[in-house]
Chain A
């Protein structure tokens, strides 16, 4: 790997290839775009400084995502994040509105708001698992490596997160047709 030998251009190509996945992983952890970008930047710099330690046991993407997740977790535990916490729910609604789906119907916006609130109310472990698994960027193996758990535990967390969200929606009167 050229980047491993100090080739900054080669590393720049890696940044371009993985910046989206790294950013979205950080966003799943921090729930704030600005902080997610800072965490992603930190992750790339740390990866650059530790490239010599990358042994190739895992894929570079998994290794990079693990670094990014750890950086995001460090930020999440920090006071600054606590002060800037709480991504406005309107952000979620606006994002969904930017990507209209054909099966959208009247009242869907309200449902999305309730779902977003239910997801926010999940415990961090369940919420992390659900957001990462549903992002479409990562395989279960990659997510399990990031979170430091097994794929079996990860799948249980995702299913449990959906079950809890469904329960909350059922309490609001939403039932499957």
Chain B
């Protein structure tokens, strides 16, 4: 494991490098490993016993619960006594004269909408025109509004005086 470029300094470097990790582990290492290897084995046995006991307890508990469970009460009303429900009649739709039932043609079943008496609506608009007499118009009594100076400065325009 040596390179070709060996030298005296290289020898010294190798010697020091070797010495830096020289030595053997303490004798206690082997004992410590053995203790830790054997301890879990005993521990595993204890865990096995505990797991077996727990499983047995769970099985006993489930069996007891199953044996003491209350039966589900039967339905008291026999099927023969149940009367058949009759469907409700469809609501009648009133049709005004001059209009017709508008039936939707979109997807799904047709739906009847409330009819609008078109003739009456047109008559209400044409027979009673709005009449306003300008002499009846009275100006509102408005009090002058005070504008804060800071707002005036911000806007830069003097507001109109309100009479």
Q: Please state if A119 and B22 are interface contacts (CB–CB under 8 Å).
A: no
Number of B residues near A (Cβ < 8 Å) is 33
Our pick among B15, B23, B26, B30 for the contact of A101 (Cβ within 8 Å) is B15
Interface stretch (choices A33-41, A55-63, A74-82) = A33-41
Instruction: Knowing A12-B34, A41-B32, say if A131 contacts B21 (CB, 8 Å).
Output: yes
User: Hey, which chain A residues are within 8 Å of B21, CB to CB?
Assistant: 24, 27-28, 131, 135
Instruction: Knowing A8-B38, A162-B10, A176-B8, say if A134 contacts B17 (CB, 8 Å).
Output: yes
Main secondary structure of the interface of A (DSSP, over half): helix
- A111 on interface, CB distance cutoff 8 Å: yes
A118 CA / B59 CA spacing, docked (Å)? 69
- A67 on interface, CB distance cutoff 8 Å: no
Q: Please state if A96 and B29 are interface contacts (CB–CB under 8 Å).
A: no
Q: Chain A nearest CB: distance from B122 CB in Å?
A: 91
- Considering only residues 119-144 of chain A, those with a C-beta below 8 Å from chain B are 119, 130-131, 133-136, 139-140
- B33 on interface, CB distance cutoff 8 Å: yes
A174 CA / B9 CA spacing, docked (Å)? 8
Point out residues on B near A: beta carbons under 8 Å.
1, 3, 5, 7-10, 12-26, 28-30, 32-34, 36-38, 40-41
- A169 on interface, CB distance cutoff 8 Å: yes
Would you give 5 A-B contacts (Cβ < 8 Å), ordered by A?
A27-B23, A92-B19, A96-B19, A130-B17, A134-B1
A87 CA / B40 CA spacing, docked (Å)? 34
- A19 on interface, CB distance cutoff 8 Å: yes
Complex: chain A residue closest to B33, CB-CB: A44
Instruction: Knowing A15-B33, A112-B12, A176-B8, say if A23 contacts B24 (CB, 8 Å).
Output: yes
Complex: chain A residue closest to B18, CB-CB: A134
A16 CA / B34 CA spacing, docked (Å)? 11
Instruction: Knowing A166-B10, A166-B13, say if A95 contacts B19 (CB, 8 Å).
Output: yes
Q: Chain A nearest CB: distance from B22 CB in Å?
A: 5
- A116 on interface, CB distance cutoff 8 Å: yes
- A145 on interface, CB distance cutoff 8 Å: no
- A159 on interface, CB distance cutoff 8 Å: yes
Our pick among A119, A133, A135, A175 for the contact of B16 (Cβ within 8 Å) is A119
User: Hey, which chain B residues are within 8 Å of A36, CB to CB?
Assistant: 25
Complex: chain A residue closest to B16, CB-CB: A115
Q: Please state if B9 and A92 are interface contacts (CB–CB under 8 Å).
A: no
Q: Chain B nearest CB: distance from A24 CB in Å?
A: 5
Q: Chain A nearest CB: distance from B18 CB in Å?
A: 5
Q: Please state if B20 and A95 are interface contacts (CB–CB under 8 Å).
A: yes
- A165 on interface, CB distance cutoff 8 Å: yes
